[in-house]
Amino acid sequence: MADTKKLFIKTYGCQMNVYDSERMAEAMGGAGYETTDKPDEADMILLNTCHIREKAAEKVYSELGRLKSFKKDNPDLKIGVAGCVAQAEGEEIMRRQPSVDLVVGPQAYHRLPEMEEKTRKGKKALDTDFPEEDKFEKLKRRPKAKRAPAAFLTVQEGCDKFCAFCVVPYTRGAEVSRPVERIITEARDLVERGVREITMLGQNVNAYHGEGPNGKVWTLADLIWELDKVDGLERIRFTTSHPNDMQDDLIDAHAECKKLMPYLHLPVQSGSDKILKRMNRSHTAESYIRLIERIRKGRPDLLLSGDFIVGFPEESEEDFQATLDLVKEVKYGQAYSFKYSSRPGTPAAERPLVDQDAADERLQRLQALLSKQQKEVQDSMVGREVSVLFEKTGRFEDQMVGKSDYLHAVHVAGSGAEIGDIRKVKIVESGTNSLKGVAV
């Protein structure tokens, strides 16, 4: 029997890339590979890339420059680039970095084994197509090894919104929803292997419109209620959503489904209607605020997370103040904020940048406000009882670490819990990025 080959995957970016990396590892497992966390002992190195942030491609080229030295010690080493930078750059990656053996886009990674076989014959392999076949169906079934208690599950890919700053429609393609039956089958499989919490993923997950029984089109809310029936699955989450697709049945699910956790990531990007229009966001600050009010009416304890872009082309100080005003009104428990960076090929890339010193200063002000709100929300948890899913051991003896209903990291000592247990915990202390609790 041939020796098992080693695969090292470095994952950049979002949770969907984490999920994709897991599936790539499983695909290559069928080709005789097992994963390693040591790139210097790997027979194949894959970079699963993200194209959202500034200079994403240059960071990949820099990493590839570092990795090519590994080929001196192992001439048989194969280096591949996957994900959104692979989709966007394609042949340019191989031209700039000849040490790369294969480039595969995010919709074609089910073809990795045959691409790897091609590279073993001394040929280069490039696949950035948007194939008609369902990559999830073409992948080999997941092995029945035990899983961590929380898992990601992709239900939707692509986006049709074409926000002026975003490359996703170009790198991930149009919105595609997986059929209900395949999602539920995968969810049950995960639960059989120890998973108790599933986060459904999609670039625009609440636009889900998958085929259900009898050809009926299901919404994300329909899918949530179907997952609610899965024995052993205790928690349901989803990310990332668009305000325009937050329909009534999904709002009702937040109010009524006990397995759906009281946490929602709903990016707004700006509080200025002028900037929102220039971003092609198709919602207003007022419509967003009214939407949050409706959701919180059904689930008053909802913890809200958001995304913000500062310094978008044409943003004035008045526009920025509108963003601060929205943040103060909504009150976020978590948030992600970034200075605008131009992404080649997007409509906004052709527009002149605002003064970068002003953009930096605005970002600092926004992040200070968001950090203050996050601390206030975390401090308000002290004295409350929450449900914690324990996911790993802590740094200290007899300490366990898990996630609360609200996605806060919680450290608990002396609980007697094991990984995968869900326990009631009383919060006794709020730290910078986590909470401390005692078992109830």
Q: Residue ranges for the binding site for [4Fe-4S] cluster?
A: 14, 50, 84, 159, 163, 166
Query: Residue ranges for the binding site?
Result: 14, 50, 84, 159, 163, 166
Residues 6+ apart with CB under 8 A from 421: 389, 390
Burial of 194 from C-beta contacts in 10 A (0-12 / 13-18 / 19+):
middle
With beta carbons less than 8 A apart as the criterion, state whether 19 and 11 touch.
Answer: no
Burial of 368 from C-beta contacts in 10 A (0-12 / 13-18 / 19+):
exposed
Q: What is the DSSP letter of 269?
A: B
CA distance 220 to 58: 36
Q: Of the candidates 55, 40, 30, which has an alpha carbon nearest to the alpha carbon of residue 10?
A: 40
Could you please report the per-residue DSSP string of 29-64?
A: HTTTEEE-S-GGG-SEEEEEE--SSTTHHHHHHHHH
Q: What is the DSSP letter of 358?
A: H
Residues 6+ apart with CB under 8 A from 341: 53, 54, 55
With beta carbons less than 8 A apart as the criterion, state whether 206 and 245 touch.
Answer: yes
Identify the bridge partners of residue 329 per DSSP, sorted by sequence position.
none
Q: How many CA atoms lie within 13 A of 126 on its CB side?
A: 13
DSSP 3-state of 378:
helix
With beta carbons less than 8 A apart as the criterion, state whether 274 and 315 touch.
Answer: no
Q: What is the DSSP letter of 293?
A: H
**Token reading at 38:** 């040591």
Q: Where are the beta strands (DSSP E) in 105-173?
A: 125-127, 150-154, 156-157
Cα→Cα distances 248→14, 156, 200, 298, 302, Å: 27, 19, 19, 11, 16
**Token reading at 361:** 């200063």
CA angle 219, 135, 139 (to 5 degrees): 115
Identify the bridge partners of residue 356 per DSSP, sorted by sequence position.
none
